[in-house]
A and B are shown apart, each in its own frame.
Chain A
Amino acid sequence: MFKRSILKDFDKTFILVVLLIFIIGLLTIYSATQARDLPFSESFFVRQVIWMSIAVLFIIIALVVSYYRFIDIAYVIYVLNIFLLIFVLLLGKARLGAQRWFSIGAFAFQPSEFIKLSLILVLSGYVGARKDTMARAGNMIIPIILLGIPFVFVLLQPDLGTALLLIPIFFSILIVGGADMRYIIGMVVAGLSAVPVFWHFLRDYQKQRLLVFIDPNIDPLGAGYTIIQSKIAVGSGGLIGKGWLNGTQNQLNFLPERHTDFIFSVIGEEFGFIGASAVVLLYLVLVKKAFTIANTTSDMYGKCIATGVGVLLAMQVIINIGMTIGLMPVVGIPLPLVSYGGSSLLSTMIAVGLLLNVGMRRSTF
């Protein structure tokens, strides 16, 4: 299936690190959900394994097909993804509530998880095609629109975290693509000055979450509860942790959302600083490798994709772990490869596939 020359650049270390992180995630999901007494076949552990097997199929597709084919159909994927976002919005409205996912059979599907990839592809396509003219001001307009449309719809989902994630992806691809730094800085300034307007559109619970970030004690039993309990969990893990399945914050149910967004609190509590920093370092390995691929690829499309994926991974890790220790506001971003959830796992694995795809083919161009 692969040409030998391609396989030579296939990064086995990368896949091993991904697997290692996933296994740590599985163990943590098991620990975080064992109190629920679900039959093993229905447990989150097993479901995550099933998701992983599906994800492996997707990663194979993302590897086998040259990333050029994805760039070719980037606009189709992008538009389709926007439609799905709108569809979920309408579905949610019809049900009189917020809903960012819809179900296909037994599985919930969350289109906002995939818009990150769609944006990486569509921006890479646009920037890659204009590698010599990106410094022009006129070439800033289309990328802004490409960012703006999904940003608004994701925000309406409501999914503040994913919407915010789109911003570093956008800037990193533009920078790599050769945009004029003055425009970049101008956009950052404009974006920051728009924050008060943006604030106006946030839902109350989102505002509350951002406010408790500044001071968790303003609402210790509401929005601040999660942050306080999470910090206690991580901090009480100490150097070596309380041991797997032995975290009291985790096992005694003090941590909300501990198998999804706050899974790192369980890692911090049960595996201590040694385990927590090991996980951070493993992610750092992935991110560094992504940037190495970006730097060693001469093709601008591939460079953009690799940078976008690298930044996406890095920012997800930083925001997610940051929010468990109170460094970042609680915005609802899963920890890639570790948090329970099919859509997140799938989109991360596709991103990994795209990255390796670029890495495998970098020398052929």
Chain B
Amino acid sequence: MKDRIITGLISFLFVLLLASLFYNQVLRYFYYSKLSKNNSIRILPIDGPRGKILDRNAQVLVTNRLSFDAAIVYQELGDRERLFRVLGDTLAMTDRDILKALAKAQKKPYAPVTIAEDISKEKAMALEESGCDIPGLRTETRSKRDYIYKNSGAHLFGYLSEITEDELLDMKDYGYRSGDLIGRSGVEKYYNADLRGIDGGTQIEVDNRGKEMRSLGVKEPSSGKDVYLTIDRSIQLACDKLLGDRKGAAIVMDPRNGEILALASHPAFDPNIFVKPDTSQERLGLLRDKVGRPMSDRAISGLYPPGSVFKIVTAAAGLESNRISKNTQFTCMGSFRLGKAKFDCWKKEGHGPQNIVGGLKYSCNVFFYNTGRTVGVDLIENYAKIFGFGKLTGIDLPDEVKGIAPGREWKRVYRKSAWYEGETINYAIGQGYLMVTPIQVLNMMASVANNGMIVHPHVVKRIGDDFVQAQKPKRLDIKDSTIKIIRQGLFEVVNGEHGTGSRALVEGVIAAGKTGTAENPLGKTHAWFSGFAPFDDPKICVVVFLEHGGKGGLEPAGIAGGIFKEAKNRGYL
């Protein structure tokens, strides 16, 4: 009887054993089978190279280069003495560096751990040669982004950095994986989806250490599409050279179709820094530089008062509304009075009697104070918007800002007060609440150059084999006669005797344009010049902006002249 207890208990345990085997192996087979496959099957990704960025003449601007890394597999290391000697000789690593690298490698003993990133090709060759018989030491190649012209065009191209954890969560479905580089600004960001290569992969069976046992299949990677810009390399380089170490921006566009030929913002940065190893200090330096703000693209994200270049808008508003005509004259005595307030012209002794053409030519403030007062804030606001201020140009670059084209409504909402007439006077000469980007000024100038047709600025011409269909130019609601009068004024600015923009004059090029010198509360005036050439059939439109650059008629007009010269040399004019 007592024996039954023992046999009963043991029989019960055996039945329990069989039952749980049945449960695990038969009922939960699919669950465990899947786990087992996940255990042993891995996908080894093969990078699909990122597409190149080329200029309009298929000159390579941004490409990929092979970079060499030295790596060690800790588990395979044998003779330490030779390892130290070879690493010391070829890579100039000190014993301490090597010990540090070994400690790092020890943490993942079965995987190759990079100990020296991006070493030169020569060093890599030397390492291969003298270290080929050291087990566990190897050189690995990787594809690295290469911005050939370094700082030049930095804002246009943008830069890359590794995808963050948060982004990964959002973008996993699109095939991104940890360690992927994605575009952070410029074309790299805007066209990231096109540039990005599609990673292929080998499906391999691995053991518990992740060591490849056999290959089960390969999916070839496909490289990203090459992106052809509307940029002309030589004009871009010329712009960067002409800007030099000044703060500011220069943009060159074909006014007929909106193709951007050059887009420069200074100070710039070298995008290569973001793909190079051990540059975290430099990166931080770039990101934290609050004075130079090298990472911000002044051409499309910088907001400034336009100053006198805005007089084109005031002129158009006056002419279109018939408040002034071609012959309307205002006399400049050096200042303008509105009640008790006195508004100065930049020329103390005054310009004397001026019509619209002279007003533009000499950039006479008093003429435009009078025009502005006659026209009123609502019409100025209306025409500012017609010329594209206060809204995005829609350029195919990220982080464009729309600025402010103020009006009564705007002031009531954002400043909680009524519009004062004195503000209209300032508005008329491009001061006050008005804030614009260089690309907006350029776009306004292009519509004047293009006889009232406004274009859509863009930097990409072709993606892979597909040409990007440019938006058709749109006719502005402005009469031909108005444009004609303004153009005549702009012609005089550059070509007339004592015109404010005469420094933009280049031999063999008939250009027109407008200067601007914008007061701002932060210091020295901002300097603008925007213009186009040739006058009769404009093919090139430029804007040059210098932050705290003094007078628009000086350096900016000179730089624009330099750009016209380069464009002529390149056969654009």
Which of chain B's residues has its CB closest to A281's CB?
B18
Q: In the bound complex, do residue B17 and residue A318 qualify as a contact, i.e. CB atoms below 8 Å apart?
A: yes
The 8 Å CB contact of B25, one of A238, A248, A287, is A238
Contacts of B21 in A (CB 8 A): 234, 268, 273, 276-277, 280, 321, 325
Known contacts A231-B32, A232-B36; A311/B13 CB under 8 A = no
Contacts of A273 in B (CB 8 A): 21-22, 25-26
Q: In the bound complex, do residue A175 and residue B25 qualify as a contact, i.e. CB atoms below 8 Å apart?
A: no
Contacts of B16 in A (CB 8 A): 327
Nearest-Cβ distance from residue A70 to partner chain B, whole angstroms: 22
The 8 Å CB contact of A325, one of B2, B20, B205, is B20
Determine if A350 is an interface residue (Cβ-Cβ < 8 Å): no
Determine if A111 is an interface residue (Cβ-Cβ < 8 Å): no
B-contact bits for A281-317, CB 8 A (1 contact / 0 none): 1011001000100110000000000010011001101
The 8 Å CB contact of A252, one of B10, B28, B35, B208, is B208
Determine if A254 is an interface residue (Cβ-Cβ < 8 Å): yes
Contact residue range for chain A?
Answer: 35 or more
Q: In the bound complex, do residue A175 and residue B6 qualify as a contact, i.e. CB atoms below 8 Å apart?
A: yes
Which of chain B's residues has its CB closest to A295's CB?
B3
Q: In the bound complex, do residue A327 and residue B2 qualify as a contact, i.e. CB atoms below 8 Å apart?
A: no
Known contacts A234-B24, A253-B209, A272-B25; A307/B3 CB under 8 A = yes
In Å, the complex CA distance between A159 and B248 comes to: 78
Contacts of B213 in A (CB 8 A): 252
Q: In the bound complex, do residue A235 and residue B25 qualify as a contact, i.e. CB atoms below 8 Å apart?
A: yes
Determine if A92 is an interface residue (Cβ-Cβ < 8 Å): no
Q: Which of B1-38 contact A (CB under 8 A)?
A: 2-3, 5-7, 10, 13-14, 16-18, 20-22, 24-26, 28-29, 31-33, 35-37
Determine if B386 is an interface residue (Cβ-Cβ < 8 Å): no
The 8 Å CB contact of B33, one of A175, A236, A280, A322, is A236
Contacts of B24 in A (CB 8 A): 231, 234-235, 268, 325
In Å, the complex CA distance between A273 and B32 comes to: 13
Nearest-Cβ distance from residue B311 to partner chain A, whole angstroms: 72
Contacts of A327 in B (CB 8 A): 16-17, 20
Q: In the bound complex, do residue B6 and residue A307 qualify as a contact, i.e. CB atoms below 8 Å apart?
A: yes
Q: In the bound complex, do residue B13 and residue A314 qualify as a contact, i.e. CB atoms below 8 Å apart?
A: yes
Q: In the bound complex, do residue A252 and residue B40 qualify as a contact, i.e. CB atoms below 8 Å apart?
A: yes
Contacts of A355 in B (CB 8 A): none
Q: In the bound complex, do residue B208 and residue A314 qualify as a contact, i.e. CB atoms below 8 Å apart?
A: no
Q: In the bound complex, do residue A311 and residue B10 qualify as a contact, i.e. CB atoms below 8 Å apart?
A: yes
In Å, the complex CA distance between A284 and B21 comes to: 15
Contacts of B17 in A (CB 8 A): 280, 317-318, 321-322, 327
Nearest-Cβ distance from residue A34 to partner chain B, whole angstroms: 13
In Å, the complex CA distance between A234 and B10 comes to: 23
In Å, the complex CA distance between A160 and B17 comes to: 22
Q: In the bound complex, do residue B32 and residue A284 qualify as a contact, i.e. CB atoms below 8 Å apart?
A: no
Determine if A60 is an interface residue (Cβ-Cβ < 8 Å): no
The 8 Å CB contact of A318, one of B13, B39, B209, is B13
Determine if A249 is an interface residue (Cβ-Cβ < 8 Å): yes
Contacts of A287 in B (CB 8 A): 10, 14
Nearest-Cβ distance from residue B447 to partner chain A, whole angstroms: 66
Determine if A46 is an interface residue (Cβ-Cβ < 8 Å): no
Nearest-Cβ distance from residue A171 to partner chain B, whole angstroms: 8
Q: In the bound complex, do residue B25 and residue A232 qualify as a contact, i.e. CB atoms below 8 Å apart?
A: no
Q: In the bound complex, do residue A318 and residue B6 qualify as a contact, i.e. CB atoms below 8 Å apart?
A: no
Nearest-Cβ distance from residue A108 to partner chain B, whole angstroms: 26
Q: In the bound complex, do residue A235 and residue B14 qualify as a contact, i.e. CB atoms below 8 Å apart?
A: no
In Å, the complex CA distance between A181 and B205 comes to: 57
Determine if B206 is an interface residue (Cβ-Cβ < 8 Å): yes
Q: Which of B205-244 contact A (CB under 8 A)?
A: 205-209, 213
Known contacts A235-B31, A236-B33, A280-B18; A254/B39 CB under 8 A = yes
The chain B residues found within 8 Å of chain A, CB to CB, are: 2-3, 5-7, 10, 13-14, 16-18, 20-22, 24-26, 28-29, 31-33, 35-37, 39-40, 205-209, 213
Pull 16 A–B residue pairs with CB atoms less than 8 Å apart, ordered by A: A176-B6, A181-B2, A236-B33, A248-B39, A248-B205, A252-B205, A252-B207, A254-B40, A268-B21, A280-B14, A280-B18, A311-B10, A318-B13, A322-B17, A327-B16, A327-B20
8 pairs of A and B residues whose beta carbons are closest in the complex: A235-B32, A236-B36, A273-B25, A252-B207, A238-B29, A236-B32, A253-B208, A253-B207
